[in-house]
Structure 1
Amino acid sequence: MCDFRPNIFHKQRGAVARVALAGVSLASLSIAALAQEATSPRRGITNPPAEASVQLETLTVEGQGGPAASVTPGAAVRRIESPTGPVDGYVATRSATATKTNTPLIETPQSITVVGREQIDAQKAQTLTQATQYVAGVYSGTFGADSRVDYFTIRGFVASDYGIYRDGLQLLNYGFGTFKVETFGLERIEILRGPAAVLFGAGSPGGIINQITKRPTLDPFGYVEVGGGSFDQKYAAFDVGGPADESGHWFYRLTGFGRTGGTQVDGAPEDRGYIAPALTYKPDGATKLTVLTSYQYDNTAVTSNFLPYSGTVRRNLSGLYIPRSLNLGDANFNTFRRQQASAGYEFEHAFDETWTIRQNLRYSFSESFQNSDIGQLGYSDAAQTRLARYQFLTSSKIGIFQIDNQAEARFSDGLFRHDLLFGLDYKNFQLHDNQGTNFGNFYAVPDISIINPSYGPATGRPSPYLVNADSFTQLGLYFQDQIKLTDRLTLVLGGRQDFADNRVVDKLAAGASSNGRSDNAFTYRAALIYNYDFGLAPYISYSTSFQPLLGTDANNQAFKPETGDQIEGGVKFEPIGAGYFLTLAGFDIHRQNVQTPVPNTFFSSQIGQVRSTGFEAQFTLNLAEGLNAVAAYTIYGLTTERSADPATIGKVPVNVPENFASLFLDYTIPVGEWRGFGFGGGVRYIGRSYADTLNTLRVPEYVLFDAQVHYNWDRWRLTVNATNIADRRFVSSCQSSLSCFYGDARRVVASLAYKW
């Protein structure tokens, strides 16, 4: 009965030159390291510095292991893509999410998609949900137009609780203690499909999403943007950075965003403030320290109304649909507020051409409060024109401390070349969780008409049914070796040992009773990938997963950890210089100890085992003529294999469509009188899903269309974006026959930006 859901401007693209920027020490970029990579034309420099494009005079690259190399005077040089830096157009070439090392995507034996800043801006994605709507394997917006939290599934499994990461460290969302990252503060979003526990110690077996924060740049720049649109939304943003001193050792970046306005639900605001200072210190070419901080404030409401199947998916007995704009609470009462902050650093030092050490550390804090009337009870009259409601109040405080220590060695043993990684990470999660309803105080919440709603103040103060102090710690030791068996064949082996402890103190129980459990597990991965000269790369991998679960069930027993395993085979295709990247992948996943809501209670249980078997295709394209494109297709079968309820065995879990596809195109005229004018659009198809565990109630398929136009001149850019341009009313999914969720209504946003 409660909510159980746990650059913009036109660029000229040139060839990549493998050299470093003048003015920065090149000690760490040894010729020995480059020679080690020469037999693998895709890999390039192991850890290239931050990205930039400059005109260089004669530049000598000196190393510790070989003769100097030179660069032609006056040549235009573009830096190799950094795994934490901008993506040139839509086609990324490198990532550190899948391996925790700077590895080309074409040499990564796992399915991964990178959404860069240019694509985020072109689609005007204001949330993580919107930014991943054109990604294979990901169903975004599971619970509809929810302004509080981003919800998504990957390969059929919920990943928005344990599967959201920022800069390689987890943003753990449990219950109503949540984080939500402002997309304007992101450089790229990386979606890794399949288990990632061998390196991260957590995450759904379906995959994880790693959000990469904007970092200081070597070159000075500035950017401002203002905009507004549907539901009276208005926003302003800025982004500035560059060198902070004349010596070339200090660099800064300051990013800010502010928005005010409404949502598709009457009287529900969506206000936000975000500020993110960052600082990098480079005393020499071998050492780098980057400090990343941010603060964010959100003021919104419950917009993903819990509505009955009758009246949303189908007309109700009165022949009516419940309006998407219906506010089940009140403008002065339907409240959700959150403030979150984080501070941490990334440190890296290269001792020589072989050994590099890194340490990533962050402390994150989130405090949220919600007080609102909720549906989820169905109709209160026979004509189905009035909805029953209850009052729900929650307040949560989260603190997460994380540290990840890594040592990487790149060497040859005489037979094979190795990229060997050792790691030790630690996580400490603390949650104070308070939840209450009107039921315990024995007062009723008035029902509400769907035809002519009337509002009033809250009728009482909810009494708590849960006051918990949750404590979770996890220590993990891991290793990985990327072994070049031949110039083209790479074997990836990895293993991890985790030690986890979960404690819950029930402060409502007599004597504040404590419950919990300690677990340990070993996870591993083995994968092979072969890189042909012409850009084809078939691969196969097997991996296991381990996810300790927070909280307790209806019997106050701590949850068992989730476990899983996956076999994946696929092929990647990236012809050199062609400007496109294609990934095809097939997978078979088993997930054990899966949680599911217990009907008519506030708790969850672990139902047994769910299997997901399917196929994905992801295609990205950059053309020098100004065309960018992204296309995706996903189909899988999701089946409950073991369950406490025998009737659900062989059935498809609720909330999850098993078939979806998308295509997005954007074209900018590169020459002539119309140079700088651009336009594009997209289409998204989502297949049917089920609203009940017995699969008797279907949520129908739907198709949505998006469009945009833009114009660049000098340093200015004007854009108009529209999503769901036909304003189609659709249900994104149903959790039960009494909990269905409307998707996003038409959203139009116009913006004006200036860059210097």
Structure 2
Amino acid sequence: MRDGRTRTQALRAFILAGTSLAALTAASAQQAAPRGASVQLDEISVESRGDGVPAGGPAGGALGVPGIENPRGPVAGYVATRSATATKTNTPLVETPQSITVIGRRQIDSQNAQTLTQATQYAAGTFSGSFGFDTRNTFIYLRGFNVSDYGIYRDGLQTLNYGFGYFNANTFGLERIEILRGPAAVLFGAGSPGGIVNQVSKRPTADPFGTVEIGGGSFGQKYAAFDFGGPADKEGHWFYRITGYGRNGGTQVDGAPDDSYSIAPSVTYRPDGATTLTVLTSVQRDNTAVTANFLPYIGTVRPQALGLRLPRSLNVGDARLNTYQRDQAFLGYEFEHIFNDTWAFRQNLRYSFGESFQDSNIGQLGYAFGDTTQTQLARYRFRDHARVNLFQVDNQAEARFSDGFFRHDLLMGLDYKDYRLTDNQASAFPASNLNILAPVYSGVETSPTPYLINSNAFQQLGIYLQDQIKLTDRLTLVLGGRLDFADNRVTDKLNNGFGNTGRSDTGPTYRTALIYNFENGLAPYVSYSTSFQPLIGTGRLSNTFKPEEGTQIEGGVKFEPPGQGYFVTLAGFDIRRKNVLTPDPVNTLFQVQLGEVRSTGFEAQVVASVFDGLDVAASYTIYGLTNERGGADIIGKVPVNVPENFANAYFDYTIPVGALRGFGFGGGVRYFGRSFADTANLYRVPDYVLFDAQVHYNWDRWRLAVTATNLADRRFVSSCQAFNSCFYGDARRVLASLSYKW
């Protein structure tokens, strides 16, 4: 298996075998099932599990059993009860020995969160928007570690954001967002030890429905969206859904647009109660700019020489030379077939394509040399053209059985990804200085010179096994193991192959956990898990990177009293992350591996729908983050970019009866602790508090809502990557919306 070509041939054979099995089972099921037998087969599959859950775990699409939450379907209120992210099986959250947050459609709509960053701001252990106001990408830290590169998933498959080849999704097309904290490599083969964020797409439903929505607000933003679907035939075998979203307008940065358009058709075919095939597609076009300005510490966190602070609206690029454009498309399917009371097979497959272009003047250099008044911002020009092709397939076989002593939920899997990136990066040093008191934009700069033109080819094959063992009716032991084979090849096209390099890595990961479920809903648990993350690309000297490795010990308590409408999670953790990538101090356009970082902390979360009309989400997180190994100048220091404690609380109340029935209001408060702006921890970014609010009115099929984030319009720095790379957070954003449902 050391030869990359031999390994590729072998894994292609595995994939073809899995695809053939999917096709054969679908065909045989369709031939065996008489027309109109789907309802009866559904009932058989439910009874076969003995727990009210369809055999084979999560049902394809949003079609499921009435009265039982589908782990890929809607959440009733704010309190989800099931998830398929942590175990890849249909497991109740209170029986899952790992900390997880599920954000449903109702909470997303309540906050009118249009980006993944906005939608995850009230989750435990989650610091969203670490690079401030950025319309290009989503930046999220979990338990102190960046998960934006390898830790963002969609429908259980990685989106893989490396370099400048970003994928990003509008939240209107999502049914739920699931934040799994702690290593998940045993099942997914990738991701930071801090965790992963899985975006679950909207899927076809059994009942016909429709929604249209329009809105607009701050900075001239306007948007429109639609979502409709239901059965496509009288027999009840075909179902469809089409979701569309479009917005255009400005941003808090002068001259920077934020235009995005997407459409996502999906189809489910269910020939009988044992077989489901759901095809998921989406196309998205983005036109925006670099809004996460790399600004100096002096002039943002602290006043500059004249006692001034740089305005949040300052376009460090140029209204005529500041662009970021992206086209992306997803095409895939989820297949499931239930063979009998014991066995089920699932295959998830997707091809993803993305192409982006960025051209802008960037700060990051501080003030011009000799500028004692600190009014001339030094800049350089950066240009990038990236193209991404990503193929993934995940084959799963699940068996639920008893060995005579214990009950088992056994999951066996084989997954594979093939990632191709062509990346052309160029720069020009210096660009013209920008006078922060009287900006003058010429629109003409020195043409950038390429410094990196690489073709990256990354392949990974993983074999995994998990067993959820019921030692007693209340005590569950979870054992999991995985073996990954990764191959990373980089072709240096700038230097005619002189810098070609590559490496192959093999890495095992495992997890063991125990959870005990008391009758009153209390569930203490403990777990130990490891992670293995092969790294794509090269450093400044064309050197490849060693895989990241991590370990975590986690212990906690979950509490979900039956019928009470709330869910509490308390968790303590100790994570060690090795071979961590950080910006290269010689040239921050590249990265280096500086050793080991440790995160030890505690988090608490409660979500509740405590009585009719009231929903609540609140959390608190605190941890100690330190460099354990690396250069002498960073050992014992706190890494930059992320606060070590934060807290938040959000509520939404709708009056259920009386003359004001349908009128509602809500709001939230978010606190973020201090962070550091340099690796030596000499410069601090102060803590800050933000307030959000909303009012809404529902009548008949209509809903009118007004939401406001950062209600007091506080100017704050969300974090600093370095002394000359600080980022302003979101200004006040007010949106009004009107929707109609049928």
What TM-score comes out, normalization by structure 1 length? 0.91
1:412-458 deviations in Å (ceiling 9; x for gaps) = 1111100000000000000000100113xxxx421111111111112
Is the CA contact 2:131–2:292 (under 8 Å) kept in the aligned structure 1?
yes
1:616 counterpart (603, 606, 612): 603
The residue type equivalent to 2:403 in the other structure is: D
The residue type equivalent to 1:363 in the other structure is: Y
1:265 equivalent in alignment to 2:250:
no
Matched ranges for 1:332-371 at <5 A: 332-371=320-359
Q: Matched residue of 2:633: which SS?
A: helix
Distance in 2 between residues matched to 1:25 and 1:399, nearest whole Å: 40
Distance in 2 between residues matched to 1:666 and 1:206, nearest whole Å: 29
The residue type equivalent to 2:627 in the other structure is: T
Q: Which residue of 1 aligns with 2:515?
A: 529
Q: Which residue of 2 aligns with 1:283?
A: 271
Distance in 2 between residues matched to 1:35 and 1:423, nearest whole Å: 21
Is the CA contact 1:50–1:218 (under 8 Å) kept in the aligned structure 2?
no
1:400 equivalent in alignment to 2:400:
no
Post-superposition offset of 1:33: 4.5
What TM-score comes out, normalization by structure 2 length? 0.93
- Gaps of at least 5 residues in structure 2 are 1-35
Matched ranges for 1:47-66 at <5 A: 47=57, 49=59
Q: Which residue of 2 aligns with 1:199?
A: 187
Is the CA contact 1:162–1:173 (under 8 Å) kept in the aligned structure 2?
yes
Q: Which residue of 1 aligns with 2:637?
A: 651
Q: Which residue of 2 aligns with 1:639?
A: 626
Q: Which residue of 2 aligns with 1:90?
A: 78
Post-superposition offset of 1:34: 5.0
Is the CA contact 1:586–1:614 (under 8 Å) kept in the aligned structure 2?
yes
Q: Which residue of 1 aligns with 2:6?
A: none
2:674 counterpart (684, 688, 694): 688
1:594 counterpart (571, 576, 580): 580
Q: Which residue of 2 aligns with 1:560?
A: 546
Q: Which residue of 1 aligns with 2:476?
A: 490
1:422 counterpart (395, 412, 424): 412
Post-superposition offset of 1:318: 0.8
Distance in 1 between residues matched to 2:523 and 2:59, nearest whole Å: 27
Distance in 2 between residues matched to 1:50 and 1:553, nearest whole Å: 42
Q: Matched residue of 1:389: which SS?
A: strand
Distance in 1 between residues matched to 2:339 and 2:121, nearest whole Å: 42
Is the CA contact 1:373–1:391 (under 8 Å) kept in the aligned structure 2?
yes
Matched ranges for 1:96-107 at <5 A: 96-107=84-95
Q: Which residue of 2 aligns with 1:25?
A: 39
Distance in 2 between residues matched to 1:617 and 1:396, nearest whole Å: 40
Q: Which residue of 2 aligns with 1:18?
A: none
1:188 equivalent in alignment to 2:202:
no
Distance in 2 between residues matched to 1:237 and 1:290, nearest whole Å: 23
Post-superposition offset of 1:28: 4.8
Is the CA contact 2:59–2:336 (under 8 Å) kept in the aligned structure 1?
no
Distance in 2 between residues matched to 1:32 and 1:219, nearest whole Å: 20
Is the CA contact 1:568–1:587 (under 8 Å) kept in the aligned structure 2?
yes
The 3 A distance-change label for structure 1 pair 414 and 650 is: same
The 3 A distance-change label for structure 1 pair 48 and 191 is: closer
Q: Which residue of 1 aligns with 2:378?
A: 388
The 3 A distance-change label for structure 1 pair 51 and 711 is: farther
Post-superposition offset of 1:624: 3.5
Q: Which residue of 1 aligns with 2:309?
A: 321
- Gaps of at least 5 residues in structure 1 are 1-21, 55-76
Is the CA contact 1:370–1:393 (under 8 Å) kept in the aligned structure 2?
yes
Distance in 2 between residues matched to 1:203 and 1:607, nearest whole Å: 19
Is the CA contact 1:423–1:477 (under 8 Å) kept in the aligned structure 2?
yes
Q: Percent identity?
A: 68
The residue type equivalent to 1:84 in the other structure is: R
Q: Which residue of 2 aligns with 1:303?
A: 291
Is the CA contact 2:56–2:338 (under 8 Å) kept in the aligned structure 1?
no
Post-superposition offset of 1:459: 1.6
Q: Matched residue of 2:169: which SS?
A: coil
Post-superposition offset of 1:25: 2.5
Distance in 2 between residues matched to 1:663 and 1:589, nearest whole Å: 26
The 3 A distance-change label for structure 1 pair 698 and 513 is: closer
The 3 A distance-change label for structure 1 pair 52 and 589 is: closer
Matched ranges for 1:205-284 at <5 A: 205-284=193-272
The 3 A distance-change label for structure 1 pair 377 and 624 is: same
Is the CA contact 1:23–1:248 (under 8 Å) kept in the aligned structure 2?
no
Post-superposition offset of 1:555: 2.1
1:627 counterpart (609, 614, 619): 614
Distance in 1 between residues matched to 2:119 and 2:46, nearest whole Å: 40
The residue type equivalent to 1:477 in the other structure is: I
1:518 equivalent in alignment to 2:491:
no
1:471-516 deviations in Å (ceiling 9; x for gaps) = 0000000000000000000000000000000011111124454201
Distance in 1 between residues matched to 2:135 and 2:86, nearest whole Å: 29
Matched ranges for 1:670-685 at <5 A: 670-685=656-671
Post-superposition offset of 1:353: 1.0
Is the deviation greater in 593-602 or in 137-146? 593-602
Post-superposition offset of 1:675: 0.2
Matched ranges for 1:406-485 at <5 A: 406-439=396-429, 444-485=430-471
Q: Which residue of 2 aligns with 1:584?
A: 570
Distance in 2 between residues matched to 1:619 and 1:352, nearest whole Å: 38
Is the CA contact 2:392–2:417 (under 8 Å) kept in the aligned structure 1?
yes
Distance in 1 between residues matched to 2:293 and 2:519, nearest whole Å: 53
1:20-40 deviations in Å (ceiling 9; x for gaps) = xx98433254378556438xx
Distance in 1 between residues matched to 2:494 and 2:458, nearest whole Å: 20
Q: Matched residue of 2:39: which SS?
A: coil
Distance in 2 between residues matched to 1:48 and 1:562, nearest whole Å: 31
Post-superposition offset of 1:634: 0.2
| Poorly superposed stretches of 4+, deviation over 4 Å | 31-35, 43-46, 48-54
CA RMSD between the two structures: 1.6
Is the CA contact 1:705–1:723 (under 8 Å) kept in the aligned structure 2?
yes
Q: Matched residue of 1:120: which SS?
A: helix
1:141 equivalent in alignment to 2:133:
no
The residue type equivalent to 1:229 in the other structure is: G
Post-superposition offset of 1:212: 0.1
Q: Matched residue of 2:109: which SS?
A: helix
Q: Matched residue of 2:611: which SS?
A: coil
